[in-house]
């Protein structure tokens, strides 16, 4: 019995001895990501979390046309990137499209000078969009938005780390 006491002591004290030894630092993980850097912020998502990447256009009250890219994930937030432009309808009174475009350009320039240019900023309707778990980014041109969609879709399809930058 005396032979087994030291062994019994060692077995019973092993958990305490283990707790006193410092834990090894876990190795860094290599998570495949899609990252987008924009003037308004940055968005990063693990590729394994992306469920879908979509692009579509719609009209808002007949006044503006929105082109939108959505990145849906397994989390509870939806990433939404969009380009918004005024809808330029055919004039019923014979004014040319160039005249309407010029008038809209002058309105935009005036809004920029006053610091109230909503055409370049994300517009939120509190509390609806604030609490809808939507992360929104405004893109200044449609070409950049199309390239953003291609980048996200390609990263998902090829399962490849990707960084996309919008200037």
User: pTM for the complete prediction?
Assistant: 0.64
Question: Domain ranges in the chain?
Answer: 30-165
pLDDT in tens, 75-132: 888 999 999 988 876 655 555 555 555 555 555 555 555 454 544 555 555 555 555 7
pLDDT in tens, 18-44: 555 566 776 667 899 999 999 889 999
pLDDT score for 126: 53
In the chain, which ranges are E strands? Answer: 33-38, 41-46, 50-60, 64-73, 78-86, 134-138, 162-165
């Amino acid at each position: 019995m005396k032979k087994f006491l030291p062994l019994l002591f060692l077995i019973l004290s092993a958990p305490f001895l283990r707790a006193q030894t410092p834990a090894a630092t876990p190795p860094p993980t290599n998570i495949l990501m899609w990252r987008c850097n924009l003037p308004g912020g940055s968005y990063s998502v693990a590729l394994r979390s992306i469920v879908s990447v979509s692009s579509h256009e719609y009209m808002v009250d007949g006044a503006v046309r929105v082109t939108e890219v959505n990145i849906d994930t397994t989390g509870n937030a939806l990433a939404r990137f969009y380009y918004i432009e005024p809808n330029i309808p055919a004039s019923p009174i014979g004014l040319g499209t160039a005249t309407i475009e010029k008038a809209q350009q002058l309105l935009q320039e005036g809004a920029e000078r006053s610091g109230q240019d909503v055409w370049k900023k994300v517009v939120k309707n509190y509390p609806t969009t604030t609490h809808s778990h939507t992360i929104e980014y405004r893109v200044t041109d449609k070409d950049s938005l199309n390239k953003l969609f291609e980048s996200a879709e390609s990263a998902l399809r090829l399962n490849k780390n990707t960084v996309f930058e919008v200037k």
